[in-house]
Each structure stands twice: as structure tokens, then as C-alpha cells.
Structure 1
Amino acid sequence: MCDCEVPQAFCETWRTARKQHRCCECAGWINPGDRYNYVSGIWDNQPDSHRTCVQCVQVRDWIVSQLTGWDCGPCFTQLYEDMPRADWPSHMVEARAALREELARKAA
């Protein structure tokens, strides 16, 4: 039982950032030199890719370890969607606050 779309092709690897990226889950920065999880694939006949910071991969792995009766874990970009804000890990709270500040500066 899985709500995620199953990709037609899928490749996963760990990379070291050469430039700054945003984590697809927490929207925090992945800075040059940071390791991150890179996933690429084809979903609904469209290629796509996702970069996930180490902390969010750890959260995803923990969630998957707690699931029983599911054939997949959280969908990409939806890791924290059903998690109450009070339960968000500290890096998620910090990343979201930084993103709000950055967007406010750009809007001003």
C-alpha cells in the first residue's frame, strides 16, 4: 500500500556538492563539500531528480524503519507533510526559518 507514484526508471547515489543546492525535503542548503543523496528517475514519463541532505535521509530512514505493511516510504518532497510541526527535527525548523527570511528579503 503506497501513495507514491512508482518510477519507470530510478537511480540513487551519494554525492559531494560542488555548488549549493536545496534539500528537496527541508529546503535547507546543501553547501559545497556537503554529502547528499541524489536520486534521479522517470515518473509519469517525465524525468526528475531530487537532492536530500544527510539529516533528512536519516529522518526518512527512521520513518521507513517504523513502517509496517507498507511497500514504500515517504514520497520525495513530502517527508514532513504529515508530521506535526512540534515533531520536526531541529534542522528542519532552522531551514524553514532561514527560507522564510530569504524569501522576505527577496520580496522587499
Structure 2
Amino acid sequence: MGCYCDYDMPSVYVQTTPRARKEHRCAECGSKIEAGQQYERTFGVWDGSADQIKTCLQCVEMRDFVKAHVPCFCWEHHNLHECCIETAREYSREAPGLLFGTYRRSIRRVTRAAA
């Protein structure tokens, strides 16, 4: 059985993990990405509009944690935190520890963003 996500896929989608040459803000949690830190940079074209999204590695780790437990994990940029929590709640019975692990990563993300 294939995976189905209820949104349009981008026509172009490229992810890289460069080191920041200057300070950036994470598009997911708003925390600082300091110069010298690695981060995920995504370039995509959605409905003809190009966007570049910078994501800190803590948010990437939370996304990857949920994806490791839920292979058909549908998420969207700029809404990653809510997608992770919602999916973890939905699959918490089938994947013991998923919800706790997601909350733990979420709290670390929120704490970091407040700093």
C-alpha cells in the first residue's frame, strides 16, 4: 500500500545541510541558527512560487524521529511542530514511546527558541 498525503507536492524540491556563514532563523521554531552551525536548507517551488526554508537541526531531528516511527508521515514546512505532535498522538497506540519522544524533542526545541 502506497503513502498518500493530502497536499500538492512541489515541482522542485532540493534539500542541503550547509554550515551557516551568518546568523539565520529557523522557519519552524524561530530559534537562531548561529554562524558555523549546520542547518537544513530547502529550496522548493509550490504552485509556481519559489521558497527557501531554513530549519535548525533540532527541528529536523524531531521530524526524523516521527518519520522513523510513522513511515507515511505527512508534514508541511512552516507547520512542522504541529504536524509532528498531531501524528504522534494519532499513532501513539501503535508506536509506544512515540508521543513521549516527540514531546521531549518539542520541549527541547521550544526551550532553545526561547534562549
Question: TM bucket by the smaller chain?
Answer: 0.7 to 0.9
Does structure 2 retain, via aligned residues, the 8 Å contact 1:15–1:37?
yes
Amino acid at match of 1:33: G
Q: TM-score, normalised by structure 2?
A: 0.71
- The equivalent residue for 2:77 is 76
* 1:34-91, Cα deviation, whole Å (9 max, x unpaired): 00011101001000011111111111111111114x2x5421111111527x925333
Structure 1 stretches of 4+ moved >6 Å = none
Between Structure 1 and Structure 2, the one with more helix by share is 2
Where structure 2 has 5 or more consecutive residues not aligned to the other structure, the ranges are 87-99
Aligned residues: 95
- C-alpha RMSD over aligned residues: 2.1
TM-score by length of 1: 0.75
What percentage of residue pairs aligned between the two structures are identical?
33
2:91 matched residue in structure 1: none
RCO higher in structure (CA 8 A, sep ≥6) = 1
**Larger strand percent:** 1
Q: Does 1:32 align with 2:35?
A: yes
Structure 2 counterpart of 1:44, from 30, 44, 47:
47
Gaps of 5+ in 1: 99-108
